[in-house]
Each structure stands twice: as C-alpha cells, then as structure tokens.
Amino acid sequence: MNILVTGATKGIGKAIVEELVDLGQVFIAGRNEDALKALGFDYCACDLCDKSEILCDFILKKQINVLINNAGEYVYGGIDSMDDCSIERIYSTNLIAPTKLISTVVPLMKKNGWGRIINIGSISGVMGEANASLYSASKAGLLGLTKALALELAEYNITVNTINPGWVETDLGINSIEESNFSKEEIVECIPQKRFVKPQEVAKLVRYLLSDDAKGITGQGINLCAGLSVGI
C-alpha cells in the first residue's frame, strides 16, 4: 500500500500514521513543515485551502492507492458572524480539497483495480451543531460524496467510507470547547459513555477498513462517537 494521510502531524492524523506504519509506505501531508519533518516520513507541506494542487502532484508522483482525508478546519460562531474568508476557508479545506484529492487518486486506483478512500468526517455532519454550521455542512457534504462515489467506484474494487468521530481528545477538540459556551464537564455529561473518544480508536477503525475483511463495507458513514449520535 502507498498510503497518504492528510493533517498528519497531530491528533487523529498522527494516530492514524502510527497505526498504519506497518501496512506499507506511509506518506504524510500538512501545513507545518517542521512538524512533518519531525515525524520522519516522506511528506508534502501545503495548505489545502489554496494549494491543494501541490498535493495532487504529490499523489501522482507517489502512486497513492490509499487516501485518508483527515485534514480539517473548525470555526465556532453564529452564521451571521461568518465573513467570506471563514466561509471559503472551511469549505475549501473540509470538502473541496478532499474532492480534488479523490479526483486525482481515482485514476491510479482504477488502473490498479484496487483502492481505499477514507474520509474523516464528524458527528456534527450527521446531527448538526449549533454555531458550527459551516463545519457541520462541510462534513455533511463528505457523507454525500462518500455515498455517491461508493456507487461510482464499486466495480473497480475501490471502497469509499467516512468515519464520523464525536468528541475526541485532541487539540482541535479541546480548542473547540474553549471557543464554545460549554465546559468540558458539561459536554462529557451529554455523551452517553461519559467520555471522549481516543484518537487511537479512530486509527484502529481506519486500519480495519483497509483490511480485506472490510472489502464489503463501502458508502458508509460510521459513527465513532461514544453513543452521541443515538441520543442522551
């Protein structure tokens, strides 16, 4: 496998890289070149908001056949407080860039008769999140993309799935709490399992979806959210 993980330097992305290192050649991408270098993998430094074409060229050069779209942006605030820059940045990073990367990698996968595409979405794209409408909408878009592409690519032995984490113990998760009107304790109280998901749980699910045992799973949005999507 030639595996590309975007947003690979911390949180869920870093956990995925560490989990998949024995499955093939792992390539990583992110904005912070120093952090990428520190991980010791072949990397591509770019901002997916406005430089996704750099990573598209990297995909072709490295003959990627497993794409993990993990990089994402989160912004908290009412829709009436969102400026054009915020709107364009979150959609570009969370939905448009992954679509461009998929468009680039699919011909390689079709040629080889095999491929795996995994998008890291969010439970907010399944349920909606007040004051995070841009984030919720962009992640919901990934689910629609996943379903349609699964149908489009099934005959080529290419699977497409999205993992929807709930609250995860990452810098992004903690920072989003700080931006909200709630404390960590209040949020935990609303989660049925009364805990945050660990990044390693997401990484192990990614590993399973890459395995031959999971070849029949495609077009799915898998909620890994400690029961948050079920109710309280």
Residue 175 lies in a domain: no
Residue 138 lies in a domain: yes
Residues in the chain: 232
Q: Name the pairing type of β-strands 158-165 and 42-45.
A: unpaired
Residue 188 lies in a domain: no
Residue 146 lies in a domain: yes
> The pTM is what?
0.94
Angle at 3 between CA 220 and CA 143, to 5 degrees: 20
CATH number of the domain to which 6 belongs: 3.40.50.720
Which amino acid makes up residue 136?
Answer: S
From the candidates 74, 91, 135, 156, which is the catalytic residue? 135
Of the listed ranges 38-52, 74-88, 125-139, 167-181, the least confidently predicted one is: 167-181
Which amino acid makes up residue 177?
Answer: I
Residue 132 lies in a domain: yes
How sure is the predictor about 185, in pLDDT bands with cuts at 50, 70 and 90? confident
Q: What is the number of structural domains in the chain?
A: 1
Residues of the domain holding 112? 2-167+198-223
How sure is the predictor about 195, in pLDDT bands with cuts at 50, 70 and 90? very high
Is 135 a catalytic site residue?
yes
Residue 63 lies in a domain: yes
Residue 186 lies in a domain: no
Predicted pLDDT of residue 194: 93
Residue 108 lies in a domain: yes
